[in-house]
Amino acid sequence: MQLSLISVMPELEKKVFLDVFAKVCYDGRLSKPHLKTIEGQHIPADLKVGCPAKILLNFPEGTIYKLDARLIQKNGRRPYFLTISHKRIQRAIEFFEYNLQLQKGIRPELKAKKSVSFEKNKK
């Protein structure tokens, strides 16, 4: 048996992630809000983030928060995040206009940051 030196998900090798952006979503089964990571980061999108629901009830669905999180990986289950400090969860200033439009009742489109790719110049 050969050991692989290449990780399947190298972005999940760290345990603590700073400045993670997550969006408020409502779970129809539980009828309470929860957070999911958004695209355009160095972590996979749609990972759940554990956070107290009372913090998320102050603003509408779709609001983007910036937080520090700890990665939890249990045997055989999908990884998820837990917030490190509940007092440091705040709405993301980077998405100020987007969050402001949500509060006014306008449904803006969230534009994911473009990924960087390098191409060879043909001579």
Domain CATH number, residue 97: 2.40.50.140
Contact (Cβ atoms closer than 8 angstroms) between residue 24 and residue 61: yes
Would you call 9 exposed, middle or buried from its count of C-beta atoms within 10 A (0-12, 13-18, 19+)? exposed
Give CA–CA dist 84/10, Å, rounded.
Answer: 22
User: Is residue 3 one of the residues assigned to a domain?
Assistant: no
Contact (Cβ atoms closer than 8 angstroms) between residue 56 and residue 62: no
Task: With 0.75 as the threshold, say if the pTM is over it.
Answer: no
3-41: per-residue pLDDT in tens?
A: 444 445 555 567 888 889 999 998 778 778 899 999 888
User: Is residue 121 one of the residues assigned to a domain?
Assistant: no
Alpha carbons within 13 angstroms on the beta-carbon side of residue 80 total 14
User: Is residue 24 one of the residues assigned to a domain?
Assistant: yes
User: Is residue 110 one of the residues assigned to a domain?
Assistant: no
**pLDDT of 51 over the 50 cut:** yes
Mean pLDDT, range 40-58, rounded to an integer:
87
User: Is residue 108 one of the residues assigned to a domain?
Assistant: no
Domain that residue 69 falls in: 11-103
- How many domains in the chain? 1
For the chain, give the longest Cα–Cα distance.
59
93-118: per-residue pLDDT in tens?
A: 888 888 888 888 887 766 555 444 44
